[in-house]
Structure 1
């Protein structure tokens, strides 16, 4: 029939014999083939990308969620309603504040008490809560929603991040993480609100300040609602002590909470992680208080003019805050340079694993020190509390520490290129950002927009980088079918 299509794949025939190929029909065939391939492809479609990525790399999903949260809170803080004067906040300031909130850091470029409206402060508080629950919890909850059940890799990621030893416990652990967080924050709020009502002489302000500081302290965020910080409440133990307790407990981490919930005070049944975390945390608290108190004892700009009892309290408060809390009773910029250096070291260490604290974590430091002691003694294995630490744990600890040092070094170099501030001030601000601590010598407010973006990126990297690297290294285990010949290079 004239104009009919040759079903054997030959050229179409017109009324006068063979004719040119029908271009429209050919394009339709190609389009049909592409559509069929798109339907059959295992994972190129958008609604398949997230489940596949979740199964392949939970750490990458966590990073994506964190970036999305940063963008969302930046948009909210950029709204005119978020500022006290009703004008839109510049992007570099709104982004910096949003990142600081969701990474529970506490560094600011504008004064939280005066620049932001009540709406803006609520956005910051929600950001702190979201960040405090942690990228681990958020990523695993999303994986649960998308895939309906956690894959093996997601559960392995939870093992390393939350500290469970049984794959089937992950769903229960997520509920415990959320309930524990909200319960502790509620207890702190109940303690703080009555005192803030008395101080502020207002029910509404007292209620709001008590709730804000309860969440900010437990999440180690360091944000304050009072102009000039907590210095206004210097000498008031009913406010300062609960905040100290909240920061100290918040730095333990959920693996420690789980052990204490399940095994109470039965020290012999505690996990090695719990023993190391509590032991090293206590030691660093004492060392930090002694160092800070001794170095600042005669400094009239900080505690030199105070009584002995007040000096001791300030030293203990500073030691509690310098590893992650971010609150301060004195102007950090008035401290001696050697005090800033000691604070740098403690901030870099941070708090417990899978906690609201930042840094390389106290157990990482413990593993490195134990390895050094074992090497000095000539011991073949690293042992502590009658337990042997695997060699792969040591490799992860070295990797996390090296990553942290590299991030701080890179950020410091970038900040030096745009700031004329002394090196000790730049280094202090960089380490505070990486360790999500929040203590500041005032450099963040003085920086050009580029410097603020550098610190914002460092806060994100400091929050996501160590835990992401640790999870990636834990998941990517290869079984080699051969062993290379051994040869020792010269070290040292």
Structure 2
């Protein structure tokens, strides 16, 4: 039975222009939240490029060169920490405010932040906001088609997740700032600078960015283990991922109820932290430029600090050029792995590494499926993990070749900075700072690929998942 009413078509006189735009955005987000994420990130980079180009942003009062403004905007939005200029002196207080705001937007995730604002304004989450937030917190959801509700964060829990994101970011950064403030006062920093620097460092630690507000960097605090330990805590909490924080906030005393994702993330993160520190102790204990002049306790602490920061933190108390070649290679591996999924860290993510090892163990034992903590992991997760690694390795390889050709710098240094860009880590051997404009654009593109995420890009390239109603004849190629 017809009611005589039909919905106005987009562009018709009966539908206002703003409603037409809203309908278009709704359809675009429902069809592919991942492409919407890429569009939003790219738009933000362009906006911040324009803002950094303004004379009010630079200390010289002149318009910043396009490649410097673009690179800085990309590094800020992608929470990378690489720079082609001296971040502490090149920008004015207005420029530093832009940096502070930009890393908050990039660290929390543009879509998650947008959903939080929508939740605050409307006090409820619509389907569009839930799709946006779920895509940002759980990359598996970005594929078109049904997704198992056994994921770490279910669509119905997105509202609670967003509240956790907002509260955890606010509380963690506030606590880190409060812990840093008195130490700065004891080190002779003025009250005004101590307040600003505490907030700045806390944001850079939690978002895993690594920028410093003072020209000396961490040099004034190189022996202040309270200060360095607080930074490590902020980086660790930012790198484990919001789904993990969400789970821990709800059931810290009930580890048996934790999901496989949470257990894999925490276990792999701790193993990599300890293994990285042990490796740096072995490789650098006799290096007079790094740890050779330190006592045993200082060597252990600095090794753990370096292991933590190479996973995505970006802070450093030593010059990366002083590391042995073997240590640079280990740093490359740690940076490429990165932190937890849906976190402020980059890289291929620790759960990807864990899934690959679980698959190798299952194959070695002749088991048909991967298992962890009494649970079976489906095969499509392995396929996704392999895709992430291949995409990341291809991105790093192509970028390294291009930067090598442009700069003619040594391979080990170029590879280090390229992986740092892809993993949004921020540590550098100086290649980024001295890069000509062409190399700066290549590194900026690498940062974008790393921050938006290999899973997001792969999902954006696939318009839909097709279902085959038939199977072709099976034949096994020789592998290995």
TM-score when normalising by structure 1: 0.87
Matched, 1:222 2:215: no
Other structure's SS at 1:39 match: coil
Q: What is the Cα deviation at residue 483 of structure 1?
A: 2.8
**1:164, distance to aligned residue in structure 2 (A):** 4.6
Cα 1:223/1:298, change in 2 over 3 Å: same
Aligned-residue offset at 1:487: 2.1
Quick one: which of 319, 325, 332 aligns to 1:331?
319
Alpha-carbon offset, residue 50 of structure 1: 2.0
Q: Which residue of 2 aligns with 1:115?
A: 90
Match of 2:138 in 1: 160
In the other structure, the counterpart of 1:187 is 175
2:435 is equivalent to residue 458 of structure 1: no
Q: How many residue pairs were aligned?
A: 458
Match of 1:404 among 377, 392, 400: 392
Farther off after superposition, 285-294 or 133-142: 133-142
String of CA shifts for 1:106-151, please: whole Å, max 9, x gaps.
Answer: 0011111111111111111111111111134146558889997224
Instruction: Name which of structure 1's ranges 191-200 and 92-101 shifts more when overlaid on structure 2.
Output: 191-200
Q: Residues 212 and 374 (structure 1 numbering): CA distance in 2 closer, same or farther, change over 3 Å? A: same
Distance, in Å, in 2 between the alignment partners of 1:388 and 1:136 is 31
Cα distance change of structure 1 residues 376 and 460 upon mapping to structure 2, 3 Å threshold: same
**Matching of residue 57 in structure 1 with residue 45 in structure 2:** no
Match of 1:134 in 2: 109
Deviation per CA, 1:402-447: give whole Å up to 9, x if none.
1100110111111011111101111111000000000100111111
| Distance verdict in 2 for CA 1:201–1:413, change over 3 Å | closer
Task: Note the C-alpha offset of 1:154.
Answer: 4.4
Work out the CA distance in 2 between the residues paired with 1:299 and 1:355. 34
* Secondary structure in 2 matching 1:330: coil
Q: Is the 8 A contact 1:396 1:470 kept in 2?
A: no
1:61·1:139 contact (CA, 8 Å) conserved in 2?
no
The structural deviation recorded for 1:249 is 1.3
Deviation by residue 1:18-44 (Cα, 9 ceiling, x = unmatched): xxxxxxxxxxxxxxxxxx995299999
Deviations 1:38-91 (A, max 9, x none): 529999965543222111111111111111111111111111121122222211
Deviation at 1:472, TM superposition (A): 5.5
Pairing of 1:335-350 with structure 2 (within 5 A): 335-350=323-338
- 1:473 deviates by 9.2
What CA distance in whole angstroms lies between the structure 2 residues aligned with 1:365 and 1:125? 31
Alignment pair present for 1:269 and 2:257: yes
The match for 2:70 is 95
Hey, what does 2:224 align to over in structure 1? 236
Deviation at 1:155, TM superposition (A): 6.7
- Look up the match of 1:293: 281
Which is further off, 370-379 or 41-50?
41-50
5+ residue gaps, structure 1, are 1-35
User: Which residue number corresponds to residue 6 of structure 2?
Assistant: none
Note if 1:39 corresponds to 2:39.
Answer: no
| Alignment match, 2:146 | none
Cα separation, partners in 2 of 1:438 and 1:165, compared to 1, 3 Å: closer
Displacement of 1:354 = 0.2
SS at match of 2:218: helix
Unaligned residue ranges in structure 2 (runs of 5+): 1-8, 142-150
1:100/1:106 contact within 8 Å kept: yes
**Are the structure 2 counterparts of residues 221 and 383 from structure 1 closer, same or farther at C-alpha, using a change threshold of 3 Å?**
same
Check 1:365–1:474 CA distance in 2 against 1; reply closer, same or farther (3 A cut). Answer: farther
- Specify whether residues 159 and 443 from structure 1 end up closer, same or farther in structure 2 by C-alpha distance, changes over 3 A only: closer
1:72 equivalent among 47, 54, 59: 47
- Cα offset, 1:175, TM superposition: 2.1
Could you say what the CA RMSD is over the residues aligned between the two structures, in angstroms?
2.6
Distance 1:113 1:272, change over 3 A: same
